[in-house]
Structure 1
Amino acid sequence: MSSVPSGETSASRFNPIHALTKGLSSLVSRYLPDPLVFAILLTIITFALGVFLTQSSVLDMVNMWGDGFWNLLAFSMQMALVLVTGHALASSDPIHKLMVKLSSIAKTPRQGVMLVVFASSVACVINWGFGLVVGAMFARQVARRIPAADYRLLIASAYIGFMTWHGGLSASVPLVAATPGNPMEKSVGLIPISDTIFTGYNIFITVALIVVLPFLCRFMHPAEKDVVAIDPKLLKPEESTKRVLGPDATFAERLEESRVFVWIVAALGIVYLVQYFQSHGFNMTVNIVNLIMVIAGLLLHQTPMAYARAISNAARGTAGIMIQFPFYAGIQMMMEHSGLGGLITNWFVEIANKDTFPVLAFLSSGFINFAVPSGGGHWVVQGPFIMPAAQALGVDKGMAAMAIAYGEEWMNMAQPFWALPALAIAGLGVRDIMGYCVTALIVTLPIFLIGLYCF
């Protein structure tokens, strides 16, 4: 990276957003460790709190940690596939051309970061996995087109757009709360998505984020002298995955580059998806998203081996996911089985009344998110405490559930866990973007408070 002029004249007046971002970036770069070390520190803190604040012994906490360590293996594989299939899809020629065309909308560095966060936030409303990966890929394309834009902020903008996901169509807490057989059904019943996703307060919060975040990122763009440009190595287009066979190609090579196999697999997948949506409605699970990504990637890359090469190129960025998810699985088990998660949640709940309950549930969810950065995990850890308390106080069940969801998506801006896919695609470290993300955390707090308190 190197400092370059941004191509825009910096405003001479004081910019409080930029000043806040600069201070937070300096703080983060000095004190925030690598995400793996961050996960280990959280493990130690959770372990100690479980021993001192609950009835769990040291040996109990050890067993909880060990029993939970591998609980997210399936989820880890899902997340790795979200990354590699999304990367492979975005690297196909048709998607690449589309991103090039869309990136041309932005003409200046500040317009570039606005476009990236807008596209990412809208995509995350549709589906969080798609938005998280494609947002980072689109940010790289905008960086190629506008190399004078600050590359760190472009990638941060892609991740900041992730703040809308729990108000969208793939939101795990409201979807789980509406699903028969979920852990809270017996105590609070089912909560239809008409009472969560399709409510006035959720539409207000989600639309407000989509509108505000682009302007926030514009104000966060550094002064000309502080701009960090994209590494020239990342500007190089990825090598084409297509292979042109010569007349002497072997039978095996012709099979590998045959389009027929792609058509067969795609036909199987499309038939399955049609039947699935007819039976389940528009229920976009992670597995369904990944299947769509695989089918679309195969069709766009056209041959099995072209797609395999794209997947191989993308798989190099999964190392962080592979090693860190087990640590968070162990943390989640300690939080859940020791009762520590309930203890923290109850502390917020006990000081609440009917009017303040949604806000305090939101804040407790944000606090818990440091140790359990998972929407589904929040429903397991917090649902048994938040939902009965909401009923006892006469709080709307849908708003209580969404308070849990909002706390998770909001505090993701200070928890580097979900930034890993974007950082892997971008070739950056967590300290490069977290100052911007924490600024977004602070500035957007009033949006959530207004939505939860005033509606």
Structure 2
Amino acid sequence: MVQGIARFCTQVIHRFLPDPLIFAILLTIITFGMALGLTPNSPADLALMWGGGFWNLLAFAMQMALILVTGHALASSAPIKRGLTALASLARTPGQGIMLVAFLSACACAINWGFGLVLGAMFAREVARRVAGCDYRLLVASAYMGFLTWHGGFSGSVPLVAATKGNPMEATVGLIPVSATIFTGYNAFITIGLIVLLPVLARLMMPKPGEVVAIDPRLLEEAPVVERKLGPDATFAERLEESRLLSIVVAAFTVAYLAVRTSRTGFNLDINTVNLVFLAVGMLLHKTPMAYARAVGGAAKGAAGILIQFPFYAGIQALMDHSGLAGIITKWFVDIATPQTFDLLTFLSSALINFAVPSGGGHWVVQGPFVMPAAQTLGTDLGRAAMAIAYGEAWTNMAQPFWALPALAIAGLGVRDIMGYCVTAMLFSGVVFVVGLMVF
């Protein structure tokens, strides 16, 4: 049954889902039309909102581009290649390889979403290299499916923001400690349930032998050698460029910074920290700064999708937020909610809004002002309401190509290659989210 559903979803998506850039443009048009019809704003007002917000994600786009290129460059270093090869060798059959990728990615994303996205894609490539007969599309999809666990893990943006002083909802509902969100029984059920479910689901989605799509041989080609051998007549500048000492200094600075910051403010593995660690470790493993720069140059071509598409999503998010459209959609669900159905309807509203605002922090900004006061009025658990917002965002990421872009760039695939499997995972994982929210 699962295999048949996956095959059907893959066929439909292959036929109808456009390139992610076209998807973003179409979503812009739809959001503009809905805001025009459902809010009192004029076309001129909406145009100003869109253009004014178009560049709001520049910092985030840079973060995502860096996690792509630093992660890719790190994976191309000899020690990491050996480590991934050893780990991939644990799988003896295609089924084991696919389950191993899904399990590792789900665990890694529960630790840190940025780390998990990159590690999962890199590991999928390595398993494809080592295990004959694996469907490469499903391997990469299995890596991305692990992203379902991120909001229930240690880097979930909604629970972390809700517990942070100065967040937009503090004045309304106060701070919500992580003991009421991340460290709860229902979140443990959902997160562990997904870690167990996703490998099994990925195995059940395996196509028949005659339908397997192997990895493109071009992706198996060894990357160009980035280390440079200097001759006896090398200049001082050339020797400085290929100095291992400078890489060691960068790594030492990074260790010192992390040690001092942790001692003063506690441990916090955010996206900037992941990027810094990837950069420092990558430079150290490539031995010299210029060898690392050449590795980054080879990885940077994969960042094109991020650079062109993220501004469109920034404009869409500005339209949803400033026009009040996101609030209107959220209020539709909240107004019909009862104490028994509130968490489920919040989850569903968040899932819908995620197509236009694919950001956990963004959801807290646009949905929090409607959801959290309503939760207070109905007397429902505030932590559970916050997590319902978070889970809805994580759930429909399986049908929204925004977050898949870094993984796809590393894997060398397009969104249509994996989205059928991801939508299938979304359908089945929805049961885990709903049961966790409504029963535990």
Match of 2:257 in 1: 272
Q: Say yes or no: does 1:65 pair with 2:56.
A: no
Match of 1:30 in 2: 15
Identical amino acids, percent of aligned pairs: 66
1:377 to 362, 373, 393: 362
* Mapping 1:3-402, distance limit 5 Å: 16-402=1-387
- CA positional deviation for 1:280: 2.4
**Secondary structure of 2:388's partner?**
helix
Match of 1:422 in 2: 407
2:397 to 384, 402, 412: 412
- CA positional deviation for 1:264: 1.5
Instruction: Verify the 8 A CA contact 1:87 1:134 in the aligned structure 2.
Output: no
- CA positional deviation for 1:57: 0.9
Q: Which whole-Å CA distance do the structure 1 matches of 2:411 and 2:249 have between them?
A: 34
Q: Which whole-Å CA distance do the structure 2 matches of 1:145 and 1:195 have between them?
A: 43
Q: Which whole-Å CA distance do the structure 2 matches of 1:86 and 1:323 have between them?
A: 20
Letter in 1 for 2:352: F
- CA positional deviation for 1:233: 0.9
More divergent stretch after superposition (122-131 vs 284-293): 284-293
Letter in 2 for 1:88: A
Q: Which whole-Å CA distance do the structure 2 matches of 1:241 and 1:322 have between them?
A: 25
Structure 2 residues without counterparts, runs of 5 or longer: none
**Secondary structure of 1:355's partner?**
coil
- CA positional deviation for 1:147: 3.3
- CA positional deviation for 1:240: 2.8
Q: Which whole-Å CA distance do the structure 2 matches of 1:74 and 1:169 have between them?
A: 22
- CA positional deviation for 1:69: 0.2
Q: Which whole-Å CA distance do the structure 2 matches of 1:348 and 1:91 have between them?
A: 47
**Secondary structure of 1:372's partner?**
coil
Deviation string 1:102-148 (CA, Å, 9 cap, x unpaired) is 00011111111101011111111111111101110110000000131
Letter in 2 for 1:74: A
**Secondary structure of 1:416's partner?**
coil
Instruction: Verify the 8 A CA contact 1:147 1:230 in the aligned structure 2.
Output: no
Q: Which whole-Å CA distance do the structure 2 matches of 1:406 and 1:385 have between them?
A: 17
Letter in 1 for 2:408: L
Q: Which whole-Å CA distance do the structure 2 matches of 1:434 and 1:453 have between them?
A: 28
Runs of 4+ that moved beyond 4 A: none
The TM-score, its normalising length taken from structure 1, stands at: 0.95
The TM-score, its normalising length taken from structure 2, stands at: 0.99
**Secondary structure of 1:399's partner?**
helix
Deviation string 1:4-24 (CA, Å, 9 cap, x unpaired) is xxxxxxxxxxxx000000111
Q: Which whole-Å CA distance do the structure 2 matches of 1:233 and 1:205 have between them?
A: 39
More divergent stretch after superposition (357-366 vs 261-270): 261-270
Q: Which whole-Å CA distance do the structure 1 matches of 2:217 and 2:332 have between them?
A: 50
Match of 1:9 in 2: none
Deviation string 1:285-334 (CA, Å, 9 cap, x unpaired) is 21111111111112211210111111111111000000000000000011
Q: Which whole-Å CA distance do the structure 2 matches of 1:162 and 1:61 have between them?
A: 33
Letter in 2 for 1:172: S
